Amino acid sequence: MENFSEVLSLFFVWDNFIAIAIGVFLGVVIGAIPGLTTTMAVALALPFTFSMAPVSAILLLVGIYKGGMYGGSITAILIRTPGTPASACTLLDGYPMAQNGEAKKALKMSLYSSVIADFISNISLIFFAAYLAKIALNFGAPEFFWLICFSLTIIVSLSGSSVLKGFLAAALGLMISLVGLDPVYGSQRLTFNDYNLMDGISFVPLLIGLFAIPEVIDFYQRKVVSKTVINASGKEISWSEFKRCIKTIVRGSFIGVIIGAIPGSGATAAAFISYSEARRKSPNRENFGKGEIEGVAAAEAGNNGVAGATMIPLLSLGIPGDVVTAIILGAFMIHGLTPGPLMFQNNLSIIYALFLGIMVSSLFLLVVGLGAIKYFSKIADVPKEILFPIIVMFCVYGAYAVNNNTFDIWLMMGFGVLGYIFNKTGIASAPFLIGFILGPMFEDNLRRSLLIGNYDMSIFFRGPITWFFITLTLGSILFSFKRWLSYRNK
C-alpha cells in the first residue's frame, strides 16, 4: 500500500492518543452518572473539536461513545441505577451479584466483556464493512418487523417464575410506550392533553425510577442493613468462569455487530437480545436474573458490540445509525469530509488512521475501565445510611437532567412506586422493559411496511432476510413450547 507511510504519519501523533484517552475517560465517567447520556457528552464535546485535526477530532468523539457504552454498567451493578439506557440489561444479573458480595467480579466481567465485544466490533468494521453495509441497505421495514417479532419471543424466557405475570408486565410496558403522538397521523394517545406527555414517556426517568427507587424504599421500610451490597475486595474472576462466558461474549458481540450495522436499531435492544440468547443456550439457565455472571457478560457484549458497528453504515454509506453517530457525521462534515463511498476513494488514509485509532481505543477502554473499577468500587465503603440519600439525589438529578424538566422527576417517582409494586408481587421488570422498548419498534415497522406496500401483505414475505427471521421466530416459539411441555410433565 503506497499510502502506508501517510497513514502512519496521520495516526502516530500525540494528539490522537491524548484525544482517545480523554474521550474514553470522559465517556466512562459520564456514562456512569445517571441522567448524563453519551449523546449529551458527544454533543457538548463537538465544538471543542472544531479546531482539532480531523483524525483526533473524530477519535475524541468515538472515545466518548465507547467509554459511555461501558461506563453505564458501573452504577447499574453497584447501585442498581443504569447510567445509560443500554446498561439496563446489565443490572438484571449485575446487581444481584453485587448483593452476593461479588461486585468486583461483576464489574470486571462487564469490563472484559465490553472490551472483547468492542474489539470484535472494530474488526468487523474494518474487514466486513462493505458486506454488512449491503445487508443494512436491504434491511427495510418488513425485515425489521420480523427481527422485532423474533426479539419479542424473549419475553417468555425473561418472565421469571410466572409466564402470565411476564405477559402482564410486557403488556403494561407496551401500553406505557403508546403514550405520545401517533407516529403516522400525529394524533394524541393517552396524553390527557398534557404537553409533557406529547413526546411520550422518557426512557431515563422510567429506568431510574423502576430500578433504583424500589431499593431505597425497601431499605427505609426494613431499616436494617441486611446484606453488604458491595464488597469491593471480593473475589476475582476465575479462569473457568471466564472460559464459560467466552462463547456468550462472542455470540453477544456478533449480535451487537449485526444490530449496530442496521441504522435505527440501538444498543439497548442488542443487549436484551444477546441476554436472552445467552439464557436460552446456557446450562445455568435457572440462575439468570439471580446473579449469573454469564448474564452480565451477555448484556455488555451486546451493547458494546454495537459501538464499532454503528460506524459501518456511517463510514460506508454516510448513514448515521443513531444520534451519536449523527453528531459524529456532523464532525466529519465540519472538517470538510463526507463519509460514504466517496470517502473510501478520496480520503483512504484518513479512514485507515481512524481504524488504527479505533483499535487503540479498545485498549484504552481496558486501562481506563480498570482504573474506574478501582475508584468507583469505593462506593462500597460508604455506609448505606449515607449512600441511599445520595442515590436519591442522583435519581432526582438524573431524571431532571435529560430534558431539564421537573415533570420527569414526578415521572421517575411514579415508576419508583410501580417498581416497588413489581418487587412485592414478584413481577419481573425485564418483560416490562422489553414491551416498552420493542413495542414502538414493532408498531412503527408494521405500519411502515403496510404503508410502503400499499397494504399488500406480500411485502412481509419479500426476500431471504424476512424468511430467515420468520424461521427464527417460529423456532423460538416452538422451543419455548417444548420446554414448557417438558417442564409440565416433570
Partner 1 sequence: MNIKNTVIAISLVTSSLVMGSSSVYADWPTKDIHLVVPYSAGGNTDILSREVAHLLQKELDVNVIVENRPGAGSTVATGRLARGGRNADHTILMASPGHVIGASIYPNLPYNAVSDFKFITKLLDAPNIMVVPSSSPYNTVAEFIAAAKSKPMTFSHPGVGSSVHMSGELFKTLTKTKLTAVPFPGSGAALPALLSGDVDVSFENASTVLPYIQSGGLKALAVTSKTRFKALPNVPTVIETEGYDLSGFVTTVWNGVIAGNAFPDEGVEVLQAALQRVKESEEFNAFIDKMGAEASPLSGEEFKSFISSEVIRWKMVAEEAGVRQS
**What is the binding site for partner 1 (CB under 8 A)?**
39-40, 42-44, 46-47, 136-141, 181-188, 193, 195-196, 198-199, 263-264, 313, 317-327, 330, 333-334, 336, 338-342, 403-405, 444, 448, 451-452, 454
Least distance to partner 1, CB of residue 72, Å: 17
Question: Please, which residue, 288 or 400, has the CB nearer to partner 1?
Answer: 400
Question: Please, which residue, 283 or 336, has the CB nearer to partner 1?
Answer: 336
Residues contacting 273, CB < 8 A, separation 6+: 151, 154, 255, 259, 302
Full DSSP string of 176-196: HHT-EE-TTT--EES-TT-GG
Q: 412 near 396, Cβ under 8 Å?
A: yes
Least distance to partner 1, CB of residue 64, Å: 12
Residues contacting 107, CB < 8 A, separation 6+: 73, 74, 77, 78, 373, 376, 377
Least distance to partner 1, CB of residue 46, Å: 7
Question: Please, which residue, 388 or 460, has the CB nearer to partner 1?
Answer: 460
Pairing of strands 188-189, 180-181: antiparallel
**What gap in Å lies between CA 380 and CA 234, rounded to an integer?**
11
Question: Please, which residue, 318 or 414, has the CB nearer to partner 1?
Answer: 318
Q: Give 181's strand partners.
A: 188
Question: Please, which residue, 199 or 236, has the CB nearer to partner 1?
Answer: 199
Q: What are phi and psi of 188, to 5 degrees?
A: -80, 140
Full DSSP string of 207-259: HHHHHHHHHHHHHHHH-S--S-S--TT-PPPPHHHHHHHHHHHHHHHHHHHHH
Is the sign of the CA dihedral 366, 256, 96, 432 positive or negative? positive
Question: Please, which residue, 225 or 333, has the CB nearer to partner 1?
Answer: 333
Full DSSP string of 343-390: HHHH-HHHHHHHHHHHHHHHHHHHHHHHHHHHHHGGGGGS-HHHHHHH
Least distance to partner 1, CB of residue 56, Å: 19
Q: How many residues does the chain have?
A: 490
Question: Please, which residue, 319 or 350, has the CB nearer to partner 1?
Answer: 319
Question: Please, which residue, 133 or 176, has the CB nearer to partner 1?
Answer: 133
Per-residue b or e along 308-347, where b marks 16 or more CB atoms closer than 10 Å to that residue's CB = bbbbbbbbbbbbbbbebbbbbbbbbeebebebbeebeeeb
Least distance to partner 1, CB of residue 250, Å: 27
Residues contacting 196, CB < 8 A, separation 6+: 405, 407
Least distance to partner 1, CB of residue 288, Å: 31
Residues contacting 420, CB < 8 A, separation 6+: 213, 214, 217, 218
Is the sign of the CA dihedral 140, 39, 305, 335 positive or negative? positive
Question: Please, which residue, 46 or 417, has the CB nearer to partner 1?
Answer: 46
**What gap in Å lies between CA 351 and CA 229, rounded to an integer?**
46
**What gap in Å lies between CA 357 and CA 11, rounded to an integer?**
7
The single residue listed with the C-alpha cell 448505606 is 384
Question: Please, which residue, 115 or 450, has the CB nearer to partner 1?
Answer: 450
Question: Please, which residue, 78 or 125, has the CB nearer to partner 1?
Answer: 125
